[in-house]
Structures are given as C-alpha cells and as structure tokens.
Amino acid sequence: MSKEIVKEEIIRILESIIEQTQTIDAQKGNIPQIELDLVQDNIRQLYQNFMYLDKLNQEEHVGSYVETDLRKNGKQEPFEEKESSKAEKTEKKLAKQKDNRAEEKARRQKRYDKTDEEQEKPAEKQSEVSSDSNKVERKEKVKSDIREENEKKQKEQQETDTAKEITEEKTSRKDQNVPKQEEKKNSKRENEKDLFSDKKTSTLADKLQDSTRSSLYDRIGLGDKKGTLGERLKKNPVSDIKTAIGINEKFLFINELFKGNMHDYNHAIKRLNRAQNLEEAAIIFDELKNYYDWNSEGQTTLQLLDFVERRFM
C-alpha cells in the first residue's frame, strides 16, 4: 500500500515537472526565477521519493526473508501490523510534504507577484519621464526654429542695408565726379586757347622737362617722394595695373587702403586703369586718397602710386 502511494506521488511530480518545463519553453524573454525554483524543488522531491521507494523495496525484501525464516522455525510475528504502521507513517509524511510544498509555492508566488509590481512601477515612471522629455524636446525645437527664422530675417535685412549703402555710395561718387568732369572740360578749353595764343612755342625737350616736373607725385602733393628722373626711367612700365599687382600686394592694398572691402578695391583699380592719361589718373588717385583718408607718406600708398605712374609712362 505504501509503495503504491509513493509511486503515485512520483507520477504526480513527473507530470508537474513536464508541465513546468513546457511553461519554461514557452517563455520568449527572461525565464522567471520562480519557475526555475519550482522545477528544482520538484526534482529534489522526485529524488527523495525514489530514495524512499528504494528503502521500502529493501525493507519489504528483508521482511519477506524474515517471515520465511520465522515460518521455518515455527514462529510467527504480526508483520502485517508493522507494515500497516509504516504505511500510516509514510502517508503522514507525504501529506506533510504536500502541505510544505503548497506553502512554499504560495510564498514564491507572492514574491513573484511583488517582483512584477516592482518592475511595473519603474516602467510607468520611465514612461512618464519619456513623455516629459518629448515635451521638452518639442519646446526646444520650436525655440530653435524661431531663432533660425529671426536670424534669417536679420541676415536678409543686413544684406538689404548693405545693398542700399553700396547704391548710395555709387550715386554719391557719381555726383562727386560731375564737377570734376566739368573742371576737366574747362581745363581742355583753356589748353585749346593756349594753342592759338601768342606764347612762345616750346620745344620737345621743354615739354619732356615740364612733364617730368609735373609728375603724378607733384599732382597729389608728394613731390619730395618722386625721386630723380633717372630713377623713374629705370622703372618698367605696365599695361594693366590689375595684372601687374601681385597677390600679396593685392591683399595688402585691400586691407590697408580699402578697409578690407574687395569690391571697392576692384572698382578703384578699374577706374585707374581706364584713365586716359596721367592727369586723369592723378585726379582719380587724389579722390581716392581723400575719400579713404590715406596717409600720403605711407608705404602702401606709395606702392599703389608707383603702379599708377608706371601705367602711364
């Protein structure tokens, strides 16, 4: 009777292990620790029951041998009563084990439920934090878009103002050139009158000497910087001021004479190149010197002046 009970318990434990194994196999993520603990506990109980079954089997074998020996000697003991007492003890022990297993399972289930609750709370908090973070990101994006739009408007306004300033500056320069052109026309008219006057006709040598004295340096008030006629004749004439100026000299002129404005530099060189003669170039150079407030004795001013004079040699 006791062996049958033990066998039934073994079968029940095996079925429970199979069911728990299937549950573990169905888990896709992390396997809950309670499932692993229950399987290990059932395996221990299975082992204990098999050990107990082996013990009962050995005792039955020994009891049968003793009974046979007693019968041979003419003595008979109440073996069945002893067997019944052992069966009752076994049943009590198995019942106690069931109760213990039930209590242990309830405790683990309670612990498992508590663990789930603790895991759910951080998930909820994380969801709230993520939502707040998304709101902050959206606000920052809106602020960034507003800043970019304002910067774009400011840039467009600056470009418009710069274009207006350039236009006004060009208009102002044209207005300044009108009186000078009138002066130039008057000067030409006076020269034409001189051709028909009673003045003494000068020779070619006299003209060359006069032109040498009235160099570009004299015209802009730098007569003491011009050097001798021999020094000036040693200089190589240039056909185009823009191409004659090297890259280093170009950046030097832009930064020191035209205040870093490349557009003004190109416009000024173009005007100097288009001058018809030295006299017109001197007028343009003097205008630029006054407009940009150049130092008449500055090395950079004299360098540019040298290129202009070589253009009209």
Q: Which of residues 118, 134, 150 is at a domain's end?
A: 134
pLDDT digits (tens, 9 = 90+) for 268-300: 999 999 999 999 999 999 999 999 999 989 999
Q: Which of residues 134, 155, 171 is at a domain's end?
A: 134
Quote the CA–CA distance of 310 and 300 in Å, as a whole number: 16
> pTM for this structure?
0.32
Inside any domain, residue 190: no
Inside any domain, residue 201: no
The domain in which residue 64 lies consists of 2-134
Residues 119, 240, single domain; the answer is: no
Inside any domain, residue 128: yes
pLDDT digits (tens, 9 = 90+) for 190-247: 555 444 444 333 433 343 334 433 445 555 555 554 554 445 555 789 999 999 999 9
Total structural domains within the chain? 2
Q: Other C-beta atoms within 10 Å of 289: how many?
A: 19
pLDDT digits (tens, 9 = 90+) for 264-273: 999 999 999 9
Share of the chain above pLDDT 90, in %: 29
Backbone angles phi, psi at 294, to 5 degrees: -75, 150
Inside any domain, residue 142: no
3-state helix, strand, coil in the chain (%, to 5): 85, 0, 15
